[in-house]
Chain A
């Protein structure tokens, strides 16, 4: 996409925004929610009991859903809460219940090669830090304002199409449903004792 078109888009969106709908106290909520998310992630990788890990992960997921709301993505936030916190985490809790939790919670938490893993992760973090320090100037200082209220409709028209035409991502959407079907079949076949 060429830069001039981007600039035109930015100006178009900036002019259509209602200034009365601007979010309040953005820095406070941003730091609160991102602190909750990072703290939850830290608890996920350090707790001994898998159930505590799952609960910490739920805290992280819900905090991130609110971060999506702050980014004007209400539909993704709702999907995050319904599918992740409501669906996937229940699946996790069921599996934790099925496999033996007593032995796992008395075991050592970290595997034999954890120093290597930690060093690799620190190298990755150093890579991120250097990329962010070098690329800081690429990002605009203020966010452009985008119109609110029609987010779900716009996402739906990209996924399903509108006015009888296929949307931009309708085919990918169908492929995703096929992927889910294959995943369900695979999970059922692997979990059954006798087919």
Chain B
């Protein structure tokens, strides 16, 4: 069997990234779009940790922790915006969120 190398992890991360991009671009539900963004951030994390392993250095893991912090902040603010919007318009459908559209 082929030994598992950094390349394998990069392929998995790329697959998850593309799945996340598809989710962001095609779903109508804003909550699921935010979940897809979490998928994208996780793919980047996997890349960082795999490179950290490849070079035997820990900077990648530290950056992965910072990205987790960013993801938490982004989820809190995004879901806050979502709740404020739902209170005003009673919808979480992207096709109907067009207040700023001219």
Contacts and interface: CB of A to CB of B under 8 A. Distances in A.
Interface of A: 6, 9-10, 13, 26-27, 30, 34, 37-38, 41-42, 44-45, 50, 53-54, 57, 60-61, 64, 67-68, 70-73, 75-76, 79-80, 83-84, 87-88, 91-92, 95-96, 98-100, 104, 107-114, 116-118, 120-121, 124-125, 128, 132, 136, 139-144, 146, 151, 154-155, 158-159, 169, 172, 176, 179-180, 182-184, 186-188, 190-191, 193
B22 A158 contact: no
10 closest A-B pairs (Cβ-Cβ)? Answer: A117-B25, A183-B73, A187-B80, A45-B23, A114-B26, A190-B80, A41-B19, A187-B76, A34-B12, A121-B22
A116 B52 CA distance: 35
Contacts of A50: 29, 31-32
Interface residues of B, number: 76
B68 to A, nearest CB: 5
Interface of B is mostly: helix
Given A73-B53, A107-B28, A140-B5, 20 more contacts: A26-B4, A27-B2, A60-B42, A67-B46, A88-B71, A88-B72, A88-B75, A99-B86, A107-B93, A111-B95, A114-B26, A118-B26, A128-B18, A141-B5, A142-B5, A158-B59, A183-B73, A183-B77, A187-B76, A191-B80
